[in-house]
Amino acid sequence: MASKYMTVSWDQLHKDVRTLSERLSNFNFKGIISITRGGLIPAGIIARELELRLIDTVSVVTYDEEKRGELKIIKHPSITNDGEEFLIIDDLVDSGITAKAIRKLLPKAYFACLYAKPEGKEFTDKFIMEVQQDTWILFPWDMAPAFAPPLIKSKKK
């Protein structure tokens, strides 16, 4: 279980994805391979920013809530080459287990993500921000807005 949490808002996520897109804009990618599920939304934004229309997915299961389990690739990308001229996108590289498996599958693809933890950052080619290893990132798609009463009302009880 994580000892710290970092909340990423939709606004922050969009800003970070656009920054990553800018840093990737000098490459000529044929398409994107999104690692599901975390890479789906960043991949969509990057596809728009870089005007890429070819988007594929690789579906990997490694976590159940905050518990890491055995890695399973439950859907392979449809491209049959080694990933050359393709951009792999994920939200985060944590321990590097997923990144290593995908790199083995697509060794010539370029791997980029938004956030990287120390144990996994060596497996990515580009990331926006390093996060401490013991931090669990709460992405906007993991949260729901909830009503919060005005502070003054809680003091009147």
Q: Residues 34, 89: contact at Cβ < 8 Å?
A: yes
Whether 134 is catalytic is no
Whether 94 is catalytic is yes
Q: Which of 64, 94, 134, 142 is catalytic?
A: 94
45-73: burial string, b at 16+ Cβ within 10 Å, e else: bbbeebebeebbbbebeeeeeeeeeeeee
Q: Which of 90, 125, 134, 142 is catalytic?
A: 90
Distance CA(86)–CA(147), nearest Å, equals 42
Q: Residues 105, 76: contact at Cβ < 8 Å?
A: yes
Q: Which of 16, 56, 64, 91 is catalytic?
A: 91
User: Which residues pair with residue 116 across a beta bridge?
Assistant: 93, 130
Whether 16 is catalytic is no
Catalytic residue list: 90-91, 94
